[in-house]
Structure 1
Amino acid sequence: MLTHIPISPLPPERFREVLGPEYAEVEEAIIRARSLLAGRAIWHINSTAVGGGVAELLHSLLAYARGAGVDVRWSVMAGEARFFEVTKRLHNQLHGLDGGEGGLDSSELAVYRDVADRNAEELAELVRPGDVVYLHDPQTAGLVERMVEAGAIVIWRCHIGGDHPNETMRGAWSLLRPLIEPAHSYVFSRTEYIWEGLDSRKAAVITPSIDAFSPKNEDLPPATVTAILDRIGLTPTNGEPAVFRRLDGTVARVDRRARIEQDGTLPPNVPVLTQVSRWDGLKDPVGVLRGFVEYGGSDEAHLLLVGPVADGVSDDPEGAAVFQAVREARLRLDARARARVHLVSLPMDDIDENAAMVNAIQRRSTVIAQKSLAEGFGLTATEAMWKSRPVVAGAVGGLKEQVVDGLTGRLVDPTDLEAFGRAAG
């Protein structure tokens, strides 16, 4: 059932050049962690190893923890398609959106509990008393009680939430709260996401972060950006090798091509608006397309809507349907507008290669969009700013804590397509 993800150690020392004298605090923390966690395994459990922010965070952070001498481990839950349909609904409800479907019925709850129980029993065979178990997001809530029984220190980590609690959110809380209450601690990404009715003494806030040294964020020379875009099929090929550096520091090459729906390749030197996200209704890619076409100010600008191949993210059953909706919206455009819209689906076979593709696309962009209707945190905004690109983002969730309106970008009402289009154009 569980899939165990290999973790190669990375040296935390590489952050010395970024942090300067403040790196001394990191060194002190490493020494304390080695002493406190000696003999313990630190487990992280989530629902996918590829696609989405949680998986990306774990790939980097666990590698640095292992490089610091801590025994960190990462396992991914397994479940049938029906389980992920149920947990996707819970995910949306924790953002305050129910899609008109209401709460879960008894058969759906039975599916959730069955998958959770099977994964929990398998994990309990591996966990030892005193180990620390981090359980990420609603998919894992059903494992909390069994891990506590196994003698582990259990931390439930919630990466999602909404700015203003409504009845949909409260309904999801009521369902999940009894499952997570036995945990020793709860960690949320924002203070606003801490649930009503939880013991506030057990709650903490830790904001997510990007890895400046990952293939997604490392500096890329313009020639490398061009070579990668050529290789994936977004621009005309010139045959140059698309070389990048993997997370572990080794040199690699982009070989795979993207699946791209476009009438022609991206012209050189034109302004480019890009949104990179899952094919998820909460990211509103159809709204991005409409705002760009109907209210964007430049007839020369091009739009790149970029995401994983629709079947490449195991815990997101809505991806294919959302991508098809975007595809149909693009096909309905007149020929001139359609020629300026590119749908880019990136392969997920090699996560470092995928990250290098995203890096090149972001660096080719003039403006980065993240027009989410709801957003847990949305680190694409920080990725863009790390690359000195302005951001136009929905004024929701963690995006409000990253973008300084009028300075590093614009925050807009994500339901106002005209405001978005004019800000992005």
Structure 2
Amino acid sequence: MAYIGSPQSLTVLPQGPDAAPPVLPEAQITGADPLLLSGTVGSARADELDSAFRTVKEELAGRRIIDVNSTMNGGGVAEMLHRLQRYSRGAGLEARWFTMRGDPAFFALTKRLHHLLHGADSYGPPLDRAGAEHYSAVCEANARALLGAVRPGDVVTLHDPQTAGLVAHLQRAGARVVWRCHVGTDDPNPYTDRAWAFLRPWLETADAYVFSREQYVPGWLAGRQVAVIRPSIDPLSAKNRPLAPAAAAAILGRVGLRAPADRDGPAIYRRGDGSVGRIRRNPTCLCSASPPPADAPLIVQVSRWDPLKDMAGVLTSFAEAGGSLDGAHLALVGPDVTGVTDDPEGGRVFAECAALWHRLPDRVRTRAHLACLPMADAEENAVIVSALQCSAAVVTQKSLAEGFGLTVTEAMWKGRPVVASAVGGIRDQIEHGVDGMLLDDPRDSVSFAAQTSSVVGDHRLAGALGAGARRRVRENFLDDRQLLQQTSLYRSVARV
């Protein structure tokens, strides 16, 4: 028997030649013409992308592109896949996106692999023979479910450690298989070695590999087809479309993260289909004595409730900052901890942050706010995040390790000054003092507070950093660039 299901509900799938194949969740996405990006990136860049899509469509000759990951909700990978699939479909490619299922033991093991690939130690199931057998069984059950949708010659991209065990199964079905890893560390160590030792047997035969940074590529891939593709954002998505200050204020007032004012209008926004949406859901969890005043500088960090994002460290640094941040408020915001099925640590990390919040002295606790945003409506969730980022005096990302850090990109695109750890892909985004501020040691809470307070207290510096940030994202981190690289990869792999 193979076990497959969500962390909340375990299902046993029958095996054998006569068993009906199970069905994996598939995203339902409406395509969008890539030329819509021309208003932001310019006609030359949009035309180059349009030409690339036409060429790859001709060379694929009816073969499909398929993405597989472990969740459709929560985190940068899921959001990125939605956008890339949207434009691929709009360009006329037959693109499909499936998500794996697994039991709690599977997701606990793959979460441990996630931490180890970041170079950090982690508790979790042992990476022993029993762990490998269970991982293999869950992947085999998912492969059986997926094979009904895969035809010979299709290009399948598998994302992150959860999917490595699918490689050989899909290749036997005639697919071209790319494995893309969105996590890593610049400094390999015994933890990364342990993760690669576990994953390598399943990855050896992949047709190509993709990493976010060259430094993340393990040495054993020397001589293989490896592409370095940095993540990006869609300037037309709900999270990144322009949002008027009055609209952002009304949205934050509606969800309890800003004191409402008489002049506030309704908490509405424009949905992707052009209709008007209204913020209807409250945070699923909110630790707040009262909403931040409308005129208070707001320091914001939006992250998953993951120990490597160091939300507790941000709260501690804020509490210990002394008088330099006395007038400011802090908002630590993440997803509903029940809404990200592949992350078993979320509930524990949020609970630890909430316990820390309750222990703070009153003078700090009244200026600190923790919120879990609802995930039931992806666009509503995205607009609330956008309102937070647009309203922030400073956006922080005090990660202890980071694959890339799209929350940094999002804030930079909105022209916000960012204070972030100099780790992983954040180094590729920010030039210190030009388009953001970098913290050399992510565990240095004193320096973090000092950098944050220097930006909060200097409007000229904040404005200069924000303007530089938006320019840098426009030049380097919008989706047309990633889509160009992706189409080139598809063409290369399809010829193998």
TM-score bracket for the superposition, by shorter chain length: over 0.9
Aligned counterpart in structure 1 of residue 299 of structure 2, from 265, 273, 277: 273
SS in structure 2 at match of 1:209 = coil
Does residue 166 in structure 1 map to residue 189 in structure 2? Answer: yes
Residue 287 (structure 1) aligns with = 313
Residue 305 (structure 1) aligns with = 332
Residue 252 (structure 1) aligns with = 277
Residue 390 (structure 2) aligns with = 363
Aligned counterpart in structure 1 of residue 167 of structure 2, from 144, 150, 175: 144
Residue 415 (structure 1) aligns with = 443
Coordinate RMSD, CA, aligned:
1.4
Residue identity opposite 2:442 in structure 1: P
Residue 38 (structure 1) aligns with = 61
Residue identity opposite 2:41 in structure 1: L
Residue identity opposite 1:141 in structure 2: A
Does residue 11 in structure 1 map to residue 33 in structure 2? Answer: yes
CA contact (8 A) 1:392 1:411 kept: yes
What's the CA shift for 1:9?
A: 0.7
> CA distance change for structure 1 residues 137 and 248 in 2, over 3 Å: closer, same or farther?
farther
> What is the aligned residue count?
425
SS in structure 2 at match of 1:134 = strand
Higher mean alpha-carbon deviation, 84-93 vs 94-103, is at 94-103
Distance in 1 separating the partners of 2:253 and 2:242: 18
What's the CA shift for 1:110?
A: 2.2
Q: Percent identity?
A: 49
What's the CA shift for 1:102?
A: 8.6
- For 1:322-401, list aligned pairs within 5 A: 322-401=349-428
Does residue 178 in structure 1 map to residue 205 in structure 2? Answer: no
Residue identity opposite 1:87 in structure 2: T
Distance in 2 separating the partners of 1:307 and 1:200: 40
Distance in 2 separating the partners of 1:176 and 1:251: 46
CA contact (8 A) 1:160 1:375 kept: yes
Distance in 2 separating the partners of 1:241 and 1:150: 53
CA contact (8 A) 2:186 2:215 kept: yes
Distance in 2 separating the partners of 1:306 and 1:419: 22
CA contact (8 A) 2:35 2:47 kept: no
- For 1:185-264, list aligned pairs within 5 A: 185-237=208-260, 240-258=265-283, 259-264=285-290
Residue identity opposite 1:333 in structure 2: L
Runs of 4 or more off by more than 6 Å in structure 1? none
Higher mean alpha-carbon deviation, 35-44 vs 142-151, is at 35-44
Distance in 2 separating the partners of 1:102 and 1:316: 14
CA contact (8 A) 1:274 1:304 kept: yes
1:163-219 Cα offsets, whole Å, 9 max, x none, are 100011011111111211111000111101111111433111000001111111111
Task: Give unmatched runs, 5+ long, in structure 2.
Answer: 1-22, 454-496
What's the CA shift for 1:417?
A: 0.8
1:200-259 Cα offsets, whole Å, 9 max, x none, are 331110000011111111111111111111211223446732221223443322111113
Distance in 1 separating the partners of 2:356 and 2:318: 12
Distance in 2 separating the partners of 1:250 and 1:42: 30
Residue identity opposite 2:248 in structure 1: V
What's the CA shift for 1:101?
A: 5.8
SS in structure 2 at match of 1:130 = coil
Residue identity opposite 2:412 in structure 1: M
SS in structure 2 at match of 1:154 = strand
1:46-82 Cα offsets, whole Å, 9 max, x none, are 0000000100001111001100000000000011111
Residue identity opposite 2:103 in structure 1: E
Higher mean alpha-carbon deviation, 185-194 vs 196-205, is at 196-205
What's the CA shift for 1:424?
A: 1.0
What's the CA shift for 1:34?
A: 1.6
What's the CA shift for 1:295?
A: 2.2
Residue 431 (structure 2) aligns with = 404
SS in structure 2 at match of 1:405 = coil
> CA distance change for structure 1 residues 67 and 73 in 2, over 3 Å: closer, same or farther?
same
Residue 315 (structure 1) aligns with = 342
